[in-house]
Amino acid sequence: MAFGRSSRSTRPVEPVTLKILVAGGFGVGKTTLVGAVSEIRPLRTEERLTEAGRPVDDTAGVEAKTTTTVAMDFGRITLREDLVLYLFGTPGQDRFWFLWDELAQGALGAVVLADTRRLEDCFAAVDYFERREIPFTVAVNCFEGADRFPTRTVQAALDLDPEVPVLMCDARDRSSVRDVLVTVVEHALARADRLREPATT
């Protein structure tokens, strides 16, 4: 011991890393959400919308959108010193769904981002995670001018199980997105704990 301190060196904390998917319909704000919260420069794979894609890229309600994700968005956020989330934003159009299985491997949970003007666009993501038993949280991106509904109404419209959290959020706001991600992690870990509980006779 020297100078009253232990000679044992304090090792830095090795953080646990968790993978979270961000899914939802075309133009719902997935790229914005990842970019708002990522502490690194997010990786984006966006291409400009073209006339050739007009028949399959429905821009109703998001007429100002000029680009689309063609592979994934990637970002990272440190929730605590010992907990880091890697965020993978999925492409929204049907023709890119073949990428979802690759992106979903090893995911702890997911955010399904929804827009009340085009709520049906997130049905596919909800169905995907339900079928694969991946815990998810629905986050309603509160666009300006969009109708606001109680979370119970959104839950009923999407026919969600009562345990699935539904939150209102602003995909542009870091603190709002962070709250969504914390909810996803808590929901996924609580679900894992329930599955580990021994069955009662």
Q: Nearest Cα to 152, choosing from 133, 167, 169, 137?
A: 167
pTM of structure? 0.79
Rounded distance between C-alpha atoms, residue 155 and residue 120, angstroms: 13
The helix (H) or strand (E) run that includes residue 191 is helix 174-196
pLDDT in tens, the chain (201 residues): 444 454 455 677 789 999 999 999 888 999 999 999 999 988 865 545 444 444 444 545 545 444 544 458 899 999 999 999 999 998 865 656 678 888 899 999 999 999 999 999 999 999 999 999 999 999 999 998 888 999 999 999 999 999 999 999 999 999 999 999 999 999 999 999 988 877 665
Which strands, in side-by-side order, build the sheet including 16-24?
43-48, 67-80, 83-89, 16-24, 109-114, 136-141, 166-169
**Cβ-contact 77, 39 below 8 angstroms:** yes
CA distances from 193 to 10, 110, 125, 189 (A): 31, 17, 24, 6
